Amino acid sequence: MSNDRVRCVDCHEPIPSDARVCPHCEAVQPSPLVDVAVVVAGVFAFAFGLLLAMLTIGTSRLLGFLLLVVGFGLGVGGYTRHVDRQAGRRAR
C-alpha cells in the first residue's frame, strides 16, 4: 500500500501518513484500516458461514446462515461507509 501520499479528508492538503490530525485545518483523519478490517472480517464470516451452511446440517447450518447474514452486513456496511466518506469528500 502507498501510504506516503496521504491527503487530508477536509482540505485535501498532503499530510504525513501517520498524522491523526491535519496540520493545515486540524481535521481529525479517519483511519481507513478500520474499514478494511470490518470488510475483511465480513468476508471471512461470509465465507465461513457459506461453508457451514453447505457442508453441515442442523444447528451448525443455522449458525452458518447467521454468519452469512452477519458477514454480508459487515462487508456491505464497511463498503458503504467507505463510499459515503468518498462522496462526502467530493461534496465539500
Tell me the closest approach of the beta carbon of residue 86 to Zn ion, in angstroms: 16
Verify binding: residue 29, Zn ion, rule CB under 5 A.
Answer: no
Verify binding: residue 22, Zn ion, rule CB under 5 A.
Answer: yes
Verify binding: residue 24, Zn ion, rule CB under 5 A.
Answer: yes
- Taking the least distance from each CB to Zn ion, the nearer of 13 and 37 is 13
Please calculate the CA angle 36-42-46 and round it to the nearest 5 degrees: 145
Verify binding: residue 55, Zn ion, rule CB under 5 A.
Answer: no
Rounded to whole angstroms, the Cα distance separating 46 from 37 reads: 14
- Taking the least distance from each CB to Zn ion, the nearer of 27 and 66 is 27
Verify binding: residue 89, Zn ion, rule CB under 5 A.
Answer: no
Sign of CA dihedral 81, 82, 83, 85: positive
Please calculate the CA angle 45-51-57 and round it to the nearest 5 degrees: 115
H helix runs in the chain, sequence order: 32-55, 59-91
- Taking the least distance from each CB to Zn ion, the nearer of 8 and 67 is 8
Contacting residues toward Zn ion, per CB under 5 A: 8, 10-11, 22, 24-25, 27
